[in-house]
Amino acid sequence: MLVYDSSIKMNLSSFFCNGLLSINIGFDLEMVVPTSGRCCSIRRLIAFILSCSSSSSLNQTLSQKEPFLQQHPIVGVLVLRMGKSRLLLLASFLSLLLLLLPSCVLGESPYRFFTWNVTYGDIYPLGVKQQGILINGQFPGPQIEAVTNDNLIVNVFNSLPEPFLISWNGIQQRRSSWQDGVYGTNCPIPPGGNFTYTMQVKDQIGSYFYFPSLAFHKAAGGYGGIRVLSRPLIPVPFAPPAADYTLLVGDWYKANHTDLRNKLDGGKDLPFPDGLLINGQGSNGSAFTVDQGKAYRFRVSNVGVATSLNIRIQGHALLLVEVEGSHTLQNTYSSLDIHLGQSYSFLVTADQPPMDYYIVVSTRFTTTVLSTTAILHYSNSDGKRVEPPPGGPTTDIEWSLNQARSIRWNLTASGPRPNPQGSYHYGYVNVTRTIRLANSAPVIDGKQRYAVNSLSFIPADTPLKLADFYNISGVFELGSISDIPTSGPGSLRTSVMAADFRAYVEIVFENSEPSVQSWHIDGYNFWIVGMDGGQWTPASRESYNLRDAVSRCTVQVYPNSWSAIYMPLDNVGMWNIRSENWARQYLGQQFYIRVYSPANSWRDENPIPRNALLCGRASGRRTRPLW
């Protein structure tokens, strides 16, 4: 943002082919001007405004500039509305600006546009007709392909008969929790309505996914993969694979999501899932073709609602290369545990005899073991399969814990890196606050609930971000959730934790229950510095990995165990901290952290979007004018 004085601001960051020029004249006029060329458009626009400012008759000048105005009709409206005095002031600024553009190398990252129509449709993933959520008629939904720093414009039309939202698991939404797509930040898209998400995958690479965040819709589909590649010429610590495959794996119920939701609303827990899916298909419904001798990248996300999973490929080693945006040390595994909400990518070399091999996914830490398969098909195979599918780990926690500890950050890889307080050495930064979070399963008013530090979250009548922006009292109370576990019965609360921008926090997740927990934090990646069995104490810090802990956005906590993370609060906004077990999330195991900057500057947080949907007690208020 270039600033001439308090009444004239000009943002030229968007000048490039098919880009936008945003000119803000005072507080009452803002224009968005499309451009049709690159740097020449900047110079032509400046020259046009300078000529208008020196003309005795604006109308005469505009008529002489008709060819230019045919390309940029809105510019003429801008000039007429400004008037001569303000035009002269702007012209003096632009004269100086013109001197600063001798070679004109302005531009910004590419835009990628998506238009999605969300509908119900019949699906048969386990052989039984169900009501699924489709995006553009697809289950799973379309994959998003992007490159670091790309701008993603996703226009979502809700053709369901109920409100709908999409969230973007792992996309950090830098300075813009307005786009996060959870009810704490966004009003739902009403039936028949639409909302355009405007996001940038700022300084990110890696494997992620999107999913529907409201009304237990996640159990009906509506999810898809997100693939963020490194920018051209940025070295990647492995050779380009022959192909890049996405596997969306997860548990599945034969019952419609509405029946599951009604069960939860009635205070009951969910039954055990009926099966597992790979890319929306049951056993052997998906196949991945490989050429003998070549290496392939597989990106795997656990998009399920209830269970941790293990994945393995018959006769083939898995070379781990990336976890939720972080290049990892390239360790080789026979199989990988992928907990709820987590994403991994690994390389597989087709170095076996030409046959068909099983890709096996099975549940972990469950009494009944569910499994499903896909096929790794060699292009020169005659279709003969190697029988039987390989077995995998089942209930062994120590095996999984040791594997998790072995996943380390690749310190020599190029690419975006988190930078806490100006230092890449996350272990050298002083912790300013310790937050301990304990999950529990209280029964409140005769109904099963789930809680964090004894508080079971209930949604407010207005998204928390909007209530905060408009200073609407009575929606939530800052500091309503404690930094330490509390004893006693659980209670219902719209719990929001207050936090300071640029603080550096230690968060300890404590799990005294007999099931594995999986925690996700929107808006952030964090370093998993430690995990172990038993009760966490300050002495547990002696075992922390302060050198090469992996940076990611979802962490598992094993039964009767703890996991500790370090996280720089460098992203202002209202952010959801939640269980990735979707029944637990739905019944209250979540809360929000409000990261606040007193500067109230666009440098720290983007302004409210002009197209923001308003609901609840924010209905009828103003966002920002379009003109």
Tens digits of residue pLDDT in 165-206:
999 999 999 999 999 999 999 999 999 999 999 999 999 999
Task: State the SS3 of 535-599.
Answer: CCCHHHHHHCCCCCECEECEEEECCCEEEEEEEECCCCEEEEEEECCHHHHHCCCEEEEEEECCC
Closest CA to 299 of 345, 349, 347: 345
How does pLDDT run across 206-251, given as a tens digit for each residue?
A: 999 999 999 999 999 999 999 999 998 899 999 999 999 999 999 9
**What's residue 3's pLDDT?**
27
Per-residue pLDDT of 525-547, as tens digits, reads 999 999 999 999 999 999 999 99
Phi, psi of 283 (to 5 degrees): -55, 130
Spatial distance between the Cα atoms of 553 and 523, rounded to a whole number of angstroms = 9
Phi, psi of 463 (to 5 degrees): -55, 140
Q: What would the two tokens of residue 588 be?
A: 């209250």
Task: Go through 265-302 and write b for each residue having 16 or more CB atoms within 10 A of its CB, e for each that does not.
Answer: eeeeebeebebbbbbbbbbbebebebeeeebbbbbbbb
Which residues are bridge partners to 375 per DSSP?
A: 287, 358
Sheet (strand 309-313) strand order: 287-290, 371-378, 356-363, 309-313, 336-338
| pTM: predicted TM-score of the whole model, two decimal places | 0.84
- For 184, the token pair is 């704490």
Give the pLDDT of residue 503. Answer: 96
Q: Return the pLDDT at 419.
A: 67
β-strands 590-596, 573-579 pairing = antiparallel
Tell me the pLDDT band of 93, cut-offs 50, 70 and 90: low
SS (H, E, C) 334-395: CCEEECCCCEEEEEEECCCCCCEEEEEEEECCCCCCCEEEEEEEECCCCCCECCCCCCCCCC
Residue type, 109: S
- How does pLDDT run across 288-343, given as a tens digit for each residue? 999 999 999 999 999 999 999 999 999 999 999 999 999 999 999 999 999 999 99
- Summarize pLDDT for 579-601 with one digit per residue, the tens: 999 999 999 999 999 999 999 88
12 vs 433, residue with greater confidence: 433
pLDDT at 57: 56
Percent pLDDT > 90 in the chain is: 77
Q: CA dihedral in degrees (323, 324, 326, 330; nearest 10)?
A: 10
Distance CA 604, CA 177 (A): 12
Nearest 10 degrees: CA dihedral of 200, 201, 202, 205?
Answer: -170
- Segment 140-161 mean pLDDT: 97
